[in-house]
Each structure stands twice: as C-alpha cells, then as structure tokens.
Amino acid sequence: MKAVNIITPSIDGQGLMMGKPGYTNDFSDKNSLIIKVLRSPHPYAKIVSINDSEALKLKGVECILSYKDFDRRPFTRAGQGYPEPSPHDKFVFDEYVRYVGDEVLCVAAIDEVTAEKALALIKVEYQILESVLDFESAMNHQSIIHPEPEIHEMFPIGFEPKKNIAASYQMHIGNVEKSLAQCDVVIKESFYTQAQAHAMMEPHAVNSRFDYQNRLVLYSSTQTPFHVRRIISQALNFPLSRIRVIKPRVGGGFGGKQAIHGEIICSAVTIKTGKPAKLVYTRKEVFESSYSRHPMRIDMTLGADLEGHLKAIDCYVLSDTGAYGEHALTVFMVTGSKVLPLYNKVDSVRFHGHVVYTNHTPAGAFRGYGAIQGNFALESAVDMLCEKLKMSPIAFRQINMIKETETSPIFAIMGEGTEGTAMNMETCKLEFCLNRGLELINWQKTYPRIQIDDHTVRSVGMAIAMQGSGIPYIDMGAATIKLNDDGFYNLLVGATEIGQGSDTILTQIAAEELMTTVDKVIVYSSDTDLTPFDVGAYASSTTFVSGNAVLKAAKTMKSKLVEEAANYFNCDIILVEFNGEVFTQIKTKDSITLKALSNRLYYNHDQKQLMVTESYVGHKSPPPFMAGFAEIDLDTETGEVKVNKYVSVVDCGVTINPKLAKGQVEGAIVQGMGMALYEDVKVSSQGKLISNDFMSYRIPSRNETPELITEFAISHEPSGPFGAKSVGEIGIDTPPAAITNAIFNACGVRIKTLPATPEKILMELRRKNHEN
C-alpha cells in the first residue's frame, strides 16, 4: 500500500502550528454583535418577571431575547439521526430554569463590555422550586423537573417525565435469576462514575450572518453540522434551505460538541437584528452550561461456577441526564451493548435501568459514550469475582472473553435506542492483545505487587474493552470526488474533522484507491452547502462509515477515469490499465497521462466534469477491541498513586494512519486516566458546579502522563475500508478499571466510586487495617 497504513503527517498540522486562521472565531465578522447569556443562579426556578428596561436603554444594546420572544416548540439539542432517540424537552428559552447555568435570556450588544453591563442591569425575579440534586432519589420525586405538556418522545424510549424519567429500557436473555441461583460464586456490587468534563481546549463558539443571498450562514465549532442545520430549522421554524452551516477547524470535541450549543441563540439574534453575531462560551460556561459525561450508578451482579466459567450477568444502570435528556437513552444503552458482549459465553444476561432528570448540568455525548462507565463496573466486578474464586484475572478472561468468529446475542437485541444488528466477530484479536500486553507490562514479574520501599508498593492491573464502528443502518456518510484539470482531485466529505485526523485519513483512503499521493487529493470537510451529507463525528463512525463512502467514491471515480481513457483510446475498458498516473492501452501500448486526459476532458474534446458521489451506511458495526494494563506505584501512607506505565494493545483493524491512530489511543488513555484519578466533579449543596474552571477541575498535565506503550494487533476487518475498524473511542474505556484493579492489587482497597483519589484510598486502607 502506498498511501494507507504508512506514516503520513496530518495534512493540516503545519498550518495550524504556524497559527493560520482555522477555527470558528477566526471567521467571525469584525462587526459581529457580541452575545452574552444570562444564566440561572438557581438549580430549579420559575421566572416570575424579567425587567430589562434599564438594559435596553444602554447605548449599544441591540436586542434582548427571552422565552417571550419564541414560540413554544420543543426540540432536542442532541446531535443524532432523525427521529432522535432523545426526548424533545428543550425550548430555545423557557419560563423554567432547570440547573445553575441554564439559559434565562440573551443580550446582543456592540461589544463585550456593553453586553456584560446590560446583563448586570437586568432584574429577574424567580420563584424558587424544590430542586432534585441527588440522582438516586430523582425517580418519582415530588418535584417534577419537566411538567410542561408539550414535550414528547419521538418513538418509545421509556419517557415518563412525570416520574422524572427521561428514558428507560430493559432486556434479558435467558433467566438471570435462575442462572445466578445455580452459580457457585456470585458477587453483587454498585459502582459510581462522575460527570466528567470534556475540557476540549477550544471553548464552544459560533457566529452567524446573512449573506448576500439573504441566507443564514453559520460557522460553528460543532461535530455535527448537518444535525445543527436541521435542529436550527426545527427550533426557529426557519427554512432549512436558507441555512448554511460551515464547520471550520474544531479545537477538540470528544462528544462535547456533538449536541447544539450556542447555534440557536446566535441564529435567533441574527434573524432578529439582521446583523452578524457571535457567541463564544467562557470556560465557566463550557463547564457549567454545556454538557458532561452521564454520571451513573451501575449495579453489577456476576455469577460463575467454581471452574471460573462466567454464567450470568445482571446489570442495572441508573443514569443522571441532568436537566435535559440529550443522549439519555443511547448513552445508557451503550453501557450495556458495548460492554456486556465482552463475555459472550454466559447462560443469561439482563440489562435494565433508568435515566433520570435532575437539576444538574445536562449530560450528553462523551467519548466512550456509556461504555467507559460500563467497562469500569464490569471489569472491576470481574476482578472482584476472580478474587472470590481465587483465580487469576487473566486466566478468567482467557476462558470467558469473546473471540474471533464468535458472536453475542446482545448485538441483535440492543441498538441505538432501537433493535440491534446481529454480527459475528470477523476480527477479534483480543487474545493477542491480552497476551502481548502481559509481556509489555511485565505482568509475571509484578503481579500482584512488589514492595519498593517501606511505604511504596508497585502493582499492575488490567481490563479489556470493546467499542463499535458507527451505528448500523443509521449512520450515513457520503463523499464526493471531483477531478480537476491537471489531474488532481477534490474530496468533499460531510465527515467532521475535529482534530481526530479524519481529513487526513479520508484523504489517504482516496489516494490509496486512486493510486496517487495525498497531495493530489484536496480535502474539504463539512459545509452543508458544499459537501455531501454525513451524520458527523461520533460513535466512532468516521473511519469506518465515512471511510467506506470515500473508498466507494474513489472506486467509482477510478472506473469513470478508465471509461474516459477507453474513449480516448477508442477501445474497450478491459484493455485499459491505470496506475494512478498513466493509462495504457495494453494491446497497442498507447498511453496517456492522467494530467493529459484531464486537460483534454476540460478543454479539448467532449468536455465534461468528472465528479462522483457515493454513500455508505453500515450493515454492521465491527467492534475494535483492546487490552489495557497499568503499572502503578502506590504510597501506602498517603494513598497517592502514580501511574508509571500504561500499555495498550489495540485491535482496530488496519490502521489507516498508524501515528494518528496511536494518537487517538494515547489521548484517550490520558483522558481515561483523568476520569480514573484526577477529574473530581464538585457540586455545592445549592446545586452549583464548583469545579468550573481549570483551577478547580484538573485534567492530567504532562507530569501525570505515564510512559505510554501502544501497539496494534495485526488485524484486517473485511468490511472496513482497507481493513480498518474504528479507533476514536476505544482507548478511553480501560483506564478506570485497569487502574482501580491495580490499586486493589497494590493494597487490597477496592475503589468503586470514581475518581480514585488518594484520600479515598487512604481512608479505605485505614478502615481495612482497622478491621483486621
């Protein structure tokens, strides 16, 4: 292969390093109105009155918009296929505010100082309502967070707002109770995960204006430009045909920009005033008023026989979607569907649970999308079961985990809020990943622990994981390839580059199929006017789904080229050979270069534009797999943990770009470590997020980053483009379980509530020593 599976620098890294304009805010109009949002200081309240007369008198204030200015039309901000599996429970602005940071109204003014001044002059009177801040008591709480009659589900998702339930679901295979009763060993444990913040470096940003055709044009830092266009149109009742959403470079998303953020407000201001406007979130708004990971309680029951055969899994999930239900059902379902099939040899499985509304910052999509929560619970529980069985956790996994050619009935049952899709694992190198990881982390030598000095123990811990590659029968990606004179191509994709490298790898795929080099394929991504449709960057779909679309388009382009060469040679197409640069008539040995042929096509003979568009929708979602291993040093006097090494052995099929794939894994590992150890979410008793800046919410810095050892299994997924599966999310899943398993191996303390802070470890250690 010439362009794929070789080291190729990203096509845009250099320009970005050199500071070239690329991000949303770089393209805002100079004379944009600055929008500031007045946000609720209360977790739950009804707006009694708004007095904005003083603010409106301020010179430079253009408009103030509140619920009074909009029709009541519920929608969901979730960036998902339509009809969305998320409840339509949000209004542009509402009479109710449902969390500290919720939108009350917005001010648009000529500059930031004026907008801020105006905000300070506005008086809002609230009737404070009883808030629900403990998600475990939210269900059937006397205080109902969404009492409004207009809200609805698009299809059955178990939506019961009167009970504060945003979604619910249950499924079972076999009879779990019966299986568990027959098991020799059973464990039942509850695990808690926190509302991790995405903390992408670029805050959410959007700007809008009317162009010379009187169309609304937005630049937005979004992962889902086509969903954004649709949702703006729905929410503001503005014709879809008059909206153009351009996604320029995005400074990190991780799911946090999958849902709508400021786009509707910004559009509304431009529609109302006719003027360009922009809205850039402050870091505090990013923390308090965008989205977080869904915090969950996961009750995991596992049963096995004495030989260590896992027989039954019962998993109940209670998930906190916060004030609105974006991705409520689907994240929760992934907690089962992309976790439980890891152990496919059980007699019975049950997965059930509820997603509840609370008066917290809404939760949404976040890399891992439920799987990291589920993985933490399952892979911790497996180690706990092994402890009880007195069995090696490695041997246990070797016996029970899913293997190549096998399947799990869960695939057919559970999908994206709907039924799933049955599939066999055509590629699953989990055994290799596990065994290779054992070597790389030096498991034999360290397991379970080595005493380093009087207060330091070194230990290892591990976990296995799986994810998906897009959502079968739902996620669609399309690609257009256009031939230019001089013989280079444009590749137009709806797929959304957000820093994960999709522009580069899609270019590589096109270049490989067209037998050319990446510099001959000029990629342009995500502009709803110019590029074909794509659902966007989520669900680990880009390489697999959009990549397949690009591959199809390149194949079609190739055959068109050969047809045109055959016309030129005046022969049958089977007589034409093409090597990417030159077409040869194999009989006559006549030849023409691509360059000459394209110039001929555009200028000289039978002129025409060659341009092809192809789409792809997956019929399955081949999971990537990995085994993750942590080596830690734990201070038994203070509970402090230092991760020395993290080994990842990943089966993501063929890596289109090995270095970028490695970057995806390593970046995700460190984010997962953040969730495991550092990223503590603190909410005050009044419901205010305290950890709302980088001083109080600590993401891992360079000094926390361990030695990262990342390898890829040799694997070729037949359904993937050039054998690729996905790699965007899988890396984030294992650190919570692998690290807490290592903590247990070091000192016998089992952390079941994330993050595993030194304080928790020390206090548990004390309690344990006290008991003994």
Residue 691's binding partner, choosing from other proteins, ligand FES, none, with beta-carbon cut-off 5 to 8 A by kind?
A: other proteins
Q: Least distance from C-beta 200 to ligand FES, angstroms?
A: 7
Cα distance from N-terminal residue to C-terminal residue, the chain: 62
Site for other proteins in 645-674 (CB under 8 A): 657-663, 666-671
Q: Is 239 in the site for other proteins (CB under 8 A)?
A: no
**Dist. CA 221–CA 22, nearest whole Å:** 11
Q: Is 426 in the site for other proteins (CB under 8 A)?
A: no
**Three-state SS sequence of 667-731:** HHHHHHHHHHHHCCCCECCCCCECCCCCCCCCCCCHHHCCEEEEEECCCCCCCCHHHECCCCCHH
The residue from 686, 763, 767, 769 that contacts other proteins (CB under 8 A) is 763
Tell me the DSSP string of 66-130.
EGGGS----B-----SSS-SS-B-B-SS-SEE-STT-EEEEEEESSHHHHHHHHHH-EEEEEE--
The residue from 123, 619, 682, 767 that contacts other proteins (CB under 8 A) is 682
Q: Least distance from C-beta 709 to ligand FES, angstroms?
A: 21
Q: Is 20 in the site for other proteins (CB under 8 A)?
A: yes
> Are 87 and 25 contacting, i.e. CB atoms less than 8 angstroms apart?
no
Site for other proteins in 24-53 (CB under 8 A): 25-26
> Are 304 and 339 contacting, i.e. CB atoms less than 8 angstroms apart?
no
State which residue, 88 or 249, has the beta carbon closest to ligand FES. 249
The residue from 249, 338, 350, 354 that contacts other proteins (CB under 8 A) is 249
The residue from 203, 256, 364, 499 that contacts ligand FES (CB under 6 A) is 499
> Are 131 and 44 contacting, i.e. CB atoms less than 8 angstroms apart?
yes
User: Which range, of 19-27, 179-187, 336-344, 510-518, touches other proteins by CB under 8 A?
Assistant: 19-27
**Dist. CA 643–CA 66, nearest whole Å:** 49
Q: Is 678 in the site for other proteins (CB under 8 A)?
A: yes
Residue 662's binding partner, choosing from ligand FES, other proteins, none, with beta-carbon cut-off 5 to 8 A by kind?
A: other proteins
The residue from 392, 704, 711, 748 that contacts other proteins (CB under 8 A) is 704
- Taking CB atoms, the residue at the shortest distance from ligand FES is 201
> Are 288 and 232 contacting, i.e. CB atoms less than 8 angstroms apart?
no
State which residue, 201 or 452, has the beta carbon closest to ligand FES. 201
Site for other proteins in 255-284 (CB under 8 A): 282-284
Site for other proteins in 182-201 (CB under 8 A): 198-201
State which residue, 373 or 671, has the beta carbon closest to other proteins. 671
Binding mask 294-313 vs other proteins (x if CB under 8 A, - otherwise)?
Answer: --------------------
State which residue, 220 or 267, has the beta carbon closest to other proteins. 220
Q: Least distance from C-beta 456 to other proteins, angstroms?
A: 12
State which residue, 390 or 702, has the beta carbon closest to other proteins. 702
State which residue, 26 or 299, has the beta carbon closest to other proteins. 26
State which residue, 42 or 198, has the beta carbon closest to other proteins. 198
Q: Is 477 in the site for ligand FES (CB under 6 A)?
A: no
Q: Least distance from C-beta 250 to ligand FES, angstroms?
A: 10
Structure tokens at 769: 């020593």
Angle between helices 393-400 and 430-441 (to 10 degrees): 170
Sequence-ordered list of residues with C-beta below 8 angstroms from that of 596, at least 6 positions apart, any chain: none
State which residue, 267 or 496, has the beta carbon closest to ligand FES. 496
State which residue, 82 or 694, has the beta carbon closest to other proteins. 694
**Dist. CA 197–CA 291, nearest whole Å:** 7
State which residue, 700 or 720, has the beta carbon closest to other proteins. 700
Task: Note every long-range contact of 419-422, with CB atoms under 8 Å and residues 24 or more positions apart, other chains counting.
Answer: 420/337, 420/472, 421/472, 421/473, 421/619, 421/620, 421/621
Q: Least distance from C-beta 199 to other proteins, angstroms?
A: 5
**Dist. CA 747–CA 743, nearest whole Å:** 6
Binding mask 506-535 vs ligand FES (x if CB under 6 A, - otherwise)?
Answer: ------------------------------
From the list 198, 200, 227, 259, the residue with the least C-alpha distance to 526 is 227
- Which SS3 state, helix, strand or coil, does residue 397 take? helix
State which residue, 253 or 623, has the beta carbon closest to ligand FES. 253
The residue from 48, 128, 181, 201 that contacts ligand FES (CB under 6 A) is 201
Structure tokens at 206: 């959007």
**Dist. CA 257–CA 262, nearest whole Å:** 10
H runs (alpha helix) in 281-327: 283-289
Q: Least distance from C-beta 201 to ligand FES, angstroms?
A: 4
- Tell me the site size for other proteins, rule CB under 8 A: 75
Q: State whether the Cα torsion 468-733-303-438 is positive or negative.
A: positive
Q: Is 696 in the site for ligand FES (CB under 6 A)?
A: no
Q: State whether the Cα torsion 97-75-206-682 is positive or negative.
A: positive
State which residue, 151 or 250, has the beta carbon closest to ligand FES. 250
Q: Is 762 in the site for other proteins (CB under 8 A)?
A: yes
Q: Is 498 in the site for other proteins (CB under 8 A)?
A: yes
Site for ligand FES in 67-106 (CB under 6 A): none
From the list 491, 467, 471, 489, the residue with the least C-alpha distance to 480 is 491
Site for other proteins in 601-640 (CB under 8 A): 637-638, 640
Q: Least distance from C-beta 253 to other proteins, angstroms?
A: 8
Q: Least distance from C-beta 77 to ligand FES, angstroms?
A: 24
Q: Is 18 in the site for other proteins (CB under 8 A)?
A: yes
State which residue, 201 or 586, has the beta carbon closest to ligand FES. 201
CB half-sphere exposure, 81, CA atoms < 13 A:
20
User: Which range, of 6-14, 177-185, 557-565, 713-721, touches other proteins by CB under 8 A?
Assistant: 6-14
State which residue, 252 or 448, has the beta carbon closest to ligand FES. 252
State which residue, 25 or 715, has the beta carbon closest to other proteins. 25
User: Which range, of 64-72, 169-177, 250-258, 521-529, touches other proteins by CB under 8 A?
Assistant: 250-258
State which residue, 90 or 247, has the beta carbon closest to ligand FES. 247
The residue from 150, 424, 759, 769 that contacts other proteins (CB under 8 A) is 759
**Dist. CA 585–CA 220, nearest whole Å:** 49
> Are 651 and 712 contacting, i.e. CB atoms less than 8 angstroms apart?
yes
Q: Is 252 in the site for ligand FES (CB under 6 A)?
A: yes
**Dist. CA 728–CA 202, nearest whole Å:** 19
Structure tokens at 568: 């030129």
Structure tokens at 363: 């939760």
Task: To the nearest 10°, report the CA torsion of 82, 83, 87, 93.
Answer: 60
398 alpha-carbon distance from chain centroid: 29
Site for other proteins in 523-582 (CB under 8 A): none
Residue 671's binding partner, choosing from other proteins, ligand FES, none, with beta-carbon cut-off 5 to 8 A by kind?
A: other proteins
**Dist. CA 70–CA 237, nearest whole Å:** 10
Q: Least distance from C-beta 19 to ligand FES, angstroms?
A: 14
**Dist. CA 736–CA 738, nearest whole Å:** 6
Q: Is 110 in the site for other proteins (CB under 8 A)?
A: no
Residue whose entry in the numeric block shows the structure tokens 């199809």: 552
Sequence-ordered list of residues with C-beta below 8 angstroms from that of 266, at least 6 positions apart, any chain: 35, 206, 207, 208, 218, 277, 278, 279
Residue 574's binding partner, choosing from ligand FES, other proteins, none, with beta-carbon cut-off 5 to 8 A by kind?
A: none
Q: Which residues bind ligand FES (CB under 6 A)?
A: 201, 252, 499
